[in-house]
Amino acid sequence: MSDGPLAGLRVIDAATLAAGPLIATWLGEHGAEVIKVEQPDGGDPLRQWGAQKDGVGLMWKSLSRNKKSITLNLREEDGRGLLRSLCTEADVVILNLRPSTQRKWGLDRANLAARNAGLVMVHVTGYGAGGPKSDRPGFGTLGEAMSGFAHLTGSPDGPPTLPSFMLADGVAGLTATYAVMMALYHRDVHGADGQLIDINLIEPLARLMEQSVLTYDQLGSIPNRMGNRWDISAPRNVYLTKDGHWLAMSGSAPSIARRALEAVGRPDLTADPRFAEAQQRLRNAPQIDAIMADWIREHTLDDAMTVFEDANVAAAPVYNARQLLEDTQLQARNVYPTFPDPELGSMRVQAPVPRFSATPGHIDHLGPTLGEHNEEIYGEVLGLDADRRRELRDRGVI
């Protein structure tokens, strides 16, 4: 039996790829029982996503930590019936079917709530329910484009730039996870029913990009790409060191910006009206950038970081994966512990975040094999006898 603040909570993860399953991952790290529903013919496409080792998807192993995998063919009515039965025994269900498919298959909120009024449903789509695009297929890439993120990312003279990681899915998943907790609080503390959480891949990320909308709405101007600069603080960029490394710096706080100028031997500029006040610094950001770039270019990464750390300046190396694992701060916090795994032997994955003092998140196991928990869930949770399970298996339902 799992422990943690969400112990006793049962979550049905019937979504695929990233955003929906991420919600279940984070709930599972804190004690929820997560039942991962996968199609019998190959399972969640996430299993084949990205880097593989001996045919095992590495992202699958981490993202499906603590989950129980069952197979269930939702294209068959008997399969959908079994999912409805599972939802009767659950607190949360996560789906990412198109709205029309969800209604056609009888897996909409109204249908499931008729059997379990307390059920919290998370419905993840590309565009959100309602509107002319609600039934179109959507992936994180489209969310990153339509949210305004890609427009602001990249060099001023280059194309819009998409991230090489699941940004829109991650932001949507995080947003939906706290939404689940609010819905459960409303249900359990206020004595209410469960409810539907409508989450898509555009709006959560767009919320973080709101500065550009506010600027256009109030000032009539459209912010454009600035490379690694940002028009709310200076200095703010990445700078190349003498030994070929990159160093990032942020002067978001005025005191930090002043210390940065002093650290590179330009204390005179802290009294110069062009650089002493935040809005003036923004107007003269190219000059500040040039001063920082010239100084850093004459120093190695280690030497530059020593100067900035001694001066209490907000600066950091730009890490690759190896450097991330070797960082002494992250090692001290055991951010990447090693876990045993029957398929890979062992694997380093990131520990749960955030960290709780009394009820820390935990990892019991990494991603399971396809259908590993069929006997447990269908036998113990739904009470199907061995003959019924065998018959469903022979017909390709499970």
Q: Bigger pLDDT: 2 or 64?
A: 64
pTM score, two decimals?
Answer: 0.93
More confident residue, 236 or 296: 296
Residue 279 confidence (pLDDT) = 77
What confidence tier does 254 reach under pLDDT thresholds 50, 70, 90?
confident
pLDDT of residue 281: 75
Selecting among 91, 169, 198, 289, the annotated active-site residue is 169
Helix (H, G, I), strand (E, B) or coil at 229: coil
- Sequence-distant (≥ 6) Cβ neighbours of residue 359 within 8 angstroms: 4, 5, 30, 31
Percent of the chain with pLDDT over 90: 87
Percent above pLDDT 70 for the chain: 99
Rounded (10°) CA dihedral 20, 26, 30, 36: 40
Q: Are 297 and 303 in contact (CB under 8 A)?
A: no
CB 246 within 8 A of CB 318: yes
Question: Quick check: 4 pLDDT over 60?
Answer: yes
Residue 256 has pLDDT above 90, yes or no: no
Rounded average pLDDT over 19-48: 97
User: For the packed helices 254-263 and 285-297, what is the interaxial angle rounded to 10 degrees?
Assistant: 40
The stretch 37-56 carries a mean pLDDT of 96
CATH number for region 10-207+334-394: 3.40.50.10540
Q: What is the pLDDT of residue 1?
A: 46
**283 vs 79: which has the higher pLDDT:** 79
Q: Selecting from 3.30.70, 2.60.40, 3.30.1540, 3.40.1350, what CATH number does the domain 236-240+246-317 have?
A: 3.30.1540
Confidence at residue 386, expressed as pLDDT on a 0 to 100 scale: 97
Domain spans in the chain, listed from the N-terminal domain onward: 10-207+334-394, 236-240+246-317
Query: What's the pLDDT score for residue 271?
Result: 81
How many Å apart are CA 85 and CA 368, to the nearest integer? 23
What is the reported pLDDT for 285?
Answer: 83
**Active site includes 169?**
yes
Q: What is the pLDDT of residues 258-268, one digit of tens each?
A: 899 899 999 88
* Whether the bond into 235 is cis, omega within 30 of 0: yes
- Span 295-324, mean pLDDT? 96
Residue 263 Ramachandran class (φ > 0 left, ψ -120 to 50 alpha, else beta): alpha
Dist. CA 387–CA 398, nearest whole Å = 13
pLDDT, one tens digit per residue, over 84-100 is 999 999 999 999 999 99
CA contacts within 13 A on the Cβ side of 227: 12
The model's pLDDT over 157-194, given as tens digits with 9 standing for 90+, comes to 999 999 999 999 999 999 999 999 999 999 999 999 99
What pLDDT is recorded for position 284?
81
Q: Give per-residue burial for 370-388: e unless 16+ CB within 10 Å, then b.
A: bbbbbeebbeebeebeeee
Average pLDDT, the chain: 94
H/E segment holding residue 11: strand 10-13
Confidence of residue 216 (pLDDT cuts 50, 70, 90): very high
